A and B are shown apart, each in its own frame.
Chain A
């Protein structure tokens, strides 16, 4: 496993070119370019605000900002998983013809989403500053830490789905359904606290709940970070990443036969 990680480091230039190209491809080929990636969460925010305005808006002040924080954090996770799961299958021609560490493909997809998230972050923070007084640099720094842990978790899962999709082509469709259920179980569009105790206990096994809560603590409520939970999250994420790398390494030699 150490060897595999070292190899990715040796291929860092390839990873850099690939990520850069994926980013420009993402923005260049649509008319709205970069603004499309902003427009999407903004539209979602608008829709949910309209839909839930009567039910939830009284419980949460600044409901649109509350939503936007959750939506962007969720989107970084979901897009990474979905694009990664197609990354090996979609580049079959490349994988069959040249050797390079295959892990680069899903990892690059996650990196694209990290950059994408970072580009939306200033908007969130600007919104907070307009509506409130907040310490920009502190908020930004804490966000980076949470994002880092979330992306460790995401990368682990992305490696697993990327590898498994090669063997089960319908996994992508199954994933999109699973992610939809997961979305509603992650407290993106409602405050987690309003749930009944029993449901809360069950859902708190879901790491995404805690990532979104942490982002809101930092950006929305300006609470101090719960270090204990952050450490547990870090441990879980690291475990998922190691698991992901192991699964990927075990399966990657069989990729070329299935593509």
Chain B
């Protein structure tokens, strides 16, 4: 059964010279902004089956994160359609989106409820989430007092402990110390065993090589190749090598 269907998706960004628009400029100066178009994704299609672990690799700026944002319903694609079946928990950027003035505990409630959990369910889960994050001593302090590592840990703990049907992870294993990283990978393995679907963007291929079912290699907003992680990794490395040589 396919739980994610990406059908011919393209995403156009409008790049502006000046970041914001002002009503004053529009009305008084009749000024419209100079803008350039940029296609972050072009005609991307693929599906993900239930219980599958899909890795997405590619250079910076290849459209990986845009793709994850589209799957997470944070942005709407310019063309094409996206169908997602099930509760999504997405970690697009760790810690972003916490309310700095709220305590860790309050943020857990807010985050978990955004991901479709009811208050009673969160009441049951909250101890587990706090324990996993190892933030017991700080959980009732405002998140603005946390270090970036601490808020990452909190975000990760929430996202993987609310039992999502689909987990979307973007490059987040780059943060945190080795021990916490290991714990996260272990938890991702166990989520995977429980039948959840996982889509992950990462450069740390070594860590996920045992659980990846399929990998997608993206470049310049297009899918270059789909296949097993091993095949894709080899092709990707060769491609990057040839790029480097050409430059030399």
Interface residues on chain B, size class: 20 to 34
CB atoms of B74 and A174 under 8 A apart:
no
A100 and B114 within 8 A (CB): yes
Is the C-beta of B190 less than 8 angstroms from some C-beta in chain A?
no
Shortest CB distance A93–B (Å): 5
Contact A99:B23 (CB < 8 A) given known A14-B114, A21-B106: no
Q: Which of these binds chain A: B53-61, B97-105, B217-225, B240-248?
A: B97-105
A96 at the B interface (CB under 8 A): yes
- Nearest-neighbour CB distance to chain A for B155, whole angstroms, equals 10
Tell me how many residue pairs across A and B have CB atoms closer than 8 Å.
74
Verify if A132 is at the interface (C-beta below 8 Å from B).
Answer: no
B96 located at the interface, meaning its Cβ lies under 8 Å from any Cβ of chain A in the complex:
yes
A98 touching B72 in the complex, CB below 8 Å, given contacts A14-B113, A257-B14: yes
Contact B26 A97 (CB under 8 A): no
Task: Determine if B73 is an interface residue (Cβ-Cβ < 8 Å).
Answer: yes
Whether B21 pairs with A17 at a CB distance below 8 angstroms is no
* In-complex Cβ contact of A170 among B24, B93, B113 (8 A): B24
Query: What is the predominant secondary structure among interface residues of chain B facing chain A?
Result: loop
From B23, B73, B106, B114, give the contact of A11 (CB < 8 A): B114
A97 to B74, Cβ gap below 8 A? yes
Whether the Cβ atoms of A97 and B93 lie closer than 8 Å is: yes
* Residues of B near any A CB (own CB < 8 A): 13-14, 20-24, 26, 69, 72-76, 88, 90, 92-93, 96-97, 99, 101-102, 106, 109-111, 113-114, 116-119
Interface, chain A (partner B; CB < 8 A): 10-11, 13-14, 16-18, 21, 25, 29, 93-100, 167-171, 174, 253, 256-258
